[in-house]
Structure 1
Amino acid sequence: MVDFINEVEEELRKDEYNRLLRRYGPILLSIIIIVVIIAGIIEFRKYSEDKAARATSASYVSASDKAAAGETLTAISDFLSLSEEAPSGYSGLALMRAAALQLESGNNIEAVRLFDSASTRFSLPRHSQLAEIKAAYILASEGQYSDVINRLGPLAQKDAPYEFLARELLGLSAFASGDKNLAREQFSYLEFIPGVPPNIRDRAKQSLSLMKANVINSDGAETENNSGSITTEKPDGN
């Protein structure tokens, strides 16, 4: 009797399972198919991105090798081509390399244009502002001090990635353009604010001392009483 009851219950369970399967089976099957398709798309996208990243890296290394071998024009062309195809980070980096090569070749205005373009290709502010700082240094060397001052305002804000470099160049450009008050403000800030790198602080102190004697040249080089000279080097970091 017990076996008979168990068999009946088992049949009832099977019937209920089959009923649910007929009712919800197509839905479950559709869900499974969708999940499999999504997983496949994700894996394919990951594979494609990895493949593209490897190709981009190889192209960048190839262009760098050409630059090192003295094939400047070819390297510039390759970097520019890469900047149009690569993801944002590599695109900005390729433009900065092309800009640096243009600068080495004496094409300063083109170098500024490329650094400006590179600054728009990075997602991280630090990288973008580095490109902007490099462009500002070139413009300062060209004597375009008003343009430099306008560019450096946002870069010289407190806690900006290259605040101290921007303030130093802003001070030199301000003095060269005749704005001694702005120059003195920047150099004084660099002299007393905590956290300024020692080399930048020392140059700021030196600039303030020379300002008192009114002997700073407009190009960033410094002389004292027309005898001897002290050169303000372009710093490498913040």
Structure 2
Amino acid sequence: MADDNDSLLREVEEELRREQLQKIWKRYNGLILGAATLVVLGVAGYQFLETRRLSTAQASGAQFSAAETLSDDKKKDEAEKAFKSIADDGQAGFAALAKLRLAGAEAKAGKTSDAVATYDSLAKQGGADPLLKSFAQLQAASLRMSDADYAEMENRLTPLIGDDAPFAKSARELLGIAAYKAKKYDDARKYLEPLLIDPNTSEDQQERVKIVMGEMAAAQVAANTPPAAAKEPTKTVTTPAAAETTAPAPNSPAPEPAKAPEQTKNDAQPQAGGAANADKK
């Protein structure tokens, strides 16, 4: 009897569950089908995008390898066209590498403005590796060092000097040099002095920093040294003794002019006899 009761209760419970499920299905069948459709489409879309990404990466890798071969074979123009194509249409990673190659070639050829523009383009490229973007920012700033003012250098390099930034030391060195050129010596010390006490700074970099710090100290000393006083022209001083020997004594009579010597009477008058004798002859 107990078994029959248990069996009846189970049948009732199953019937109740079936009725509840039917009610839920009638009420929410559209939402359930829609959610299932979205899940299927999402998985299919992900698989499609992943396949396309891998295909694009493989194609870009093959193009990049071909461009490098052209560069190694000294086919400069063809290699440049190949790298530009990858930079414009290639997968993000290979596009970034292609821009680095293009910018380096432009800088080597003396096309500084074009190189800076290419580096700036990479620094702003979405999807590019953060390390490559930071490197591009640093290279662009170094190329602008000779022409840019201090404000521009600050804007370019300040984002790169964080404690965890990969090129923080190089960015600090460039900022210190820019501040020194602008005669902002306090800012220059702020950026350069930590490099001298950082044990992780290379010896070569510390030597460069010491040179800049020495030049800065010399410039400050020269700026704080007053100019030498101009020498006055020397005047001839006449001593009292010299004045007495050169100046005439007061109220002294002027010296009389020298008299001509007097001729003797015989020299002045001819002998009368002689003249008479001459007439007689």
**TM-score normalised according to structure 2 size:** 0.59
Q: Which amino acid aligns with 1:93?
A: L
Which SS does the other structure have where 2:144 is aligned? helix
* 1:60-104: CA deviation from partner (whole Å, max 9, x where unpaired): 112222222222232222222222212433322221211111112
Cα offset, 1:117, TM superposition? 0.7
Cα offset, 1:110, TM superposition? 0.5
Q: Give the Cα separation in 1 of the matches to 2:42 and 2:148.
A: 55
In structure 2, relative to structure 1, the CA distance for the partners of 1:170 and 1:47 (3 Å cut) is: same
Aligned length: 211
In structure 2, relative to structure 1, the CA distance for the partners of 1:104 and 1:40 (3 Å cut) is: same
Cα offset, 1:50, TM superposition? 0.9
**Are 1:156 and 1:162, in contact at CA under 8 Å, matched by a contact in 2?**
yes
The residue number in structure 2 matching 1:164 is: 169
Q: Give the Cα separation in 2 of the matches to 1:35 and 1:155.
A: 41
**Are 2:122 and 2:133, in contact at CA under 8 Å, matched by a contact in 1?**
yes
**Are 2:196 and 2:209, in contact at CA under 8 Å, matched by a contact in 1?**
yes
* 1:35-58: CA deviation from partner (whole Å, max 9, x where unpaired): 544433332222111111101111
Q: Give the Cα separation in 2 of the matches to 1:30 and 1:54.
A: 36
- Structure 2 unaligned blocks of 5 or more: 1-6, 220-281
Q: Give the Cα separation in 2 of the matches to 1:117 and 1:29.
A: 46
In structure 2, relative to structure 1, the CA distance for the partners of 1:24 and 1:71 (3 Å cut) is: same
Does residue 166 of structure 2 align to residue 146 of structure 1? no
Which has the higher relative contact order, 1 or 2, with Cα contacts under 8 A spaced 6 or more apart? 1
1:151-230 map, 5 Å: 151-159=155-163, 160-193=165-198, 195-214=200-219
The residue number in structure 1 matching 2:95 is: 91
The residue number in structure 1 matching 2:121 is: 117
Q: Which moved more, 1:159-168 or 1:145-154?
A: 145-154
Cα offset, 1:32, TM superposition? 6.1
Cα offset, 1:132, TM superposition? 1.0
Q: Which amino acid aligns with 1:207?
A: V
Q: Give the Cα separation in 2 of the matches to 1:161 and 1:81.
A: 29
% of aligned pairs identical?
Answer: 23
**Are 2:119 and 2:137, in contact at CA under 8 Å, matched by a contact in 1?**
yes
In structure 2, relative to structure 1, the CA distance for the partners of 1:151 and 1:63 (3 Å cut) is: farther
Q: Which amino acid aligns with 1:185?
A: K
Does residue 36 of structure 2 align to residue 65 of structure 1? no
Cα offset, 1:111, TM superposition? 0.5
The residue number in structure 2 matching 1:220 is: none
Does residue 54 of structure 2 align to residue 50 of structure 1? yes
**Are 2:103 and 2:116, in contact at CA under 8 Å, matched by a contact in 1?**
yes
In structure 2, relative to structure 1, the CA distance for the partners of 1:213 and 1:94 (3 Å cut) is: same
Q: Which moved more, 1:60-69 or 1:45-54?
A: 60-69
Q: Give the Cα separation in 1 of the matches to 2:77 and 2:203.
A: 39
Q: Which amino acid aligns with 2:69?
A: D
After superposition, the CA RMSD in angstroms is 3.6
Q: Which amino acid aligns with 1:94?
A: A
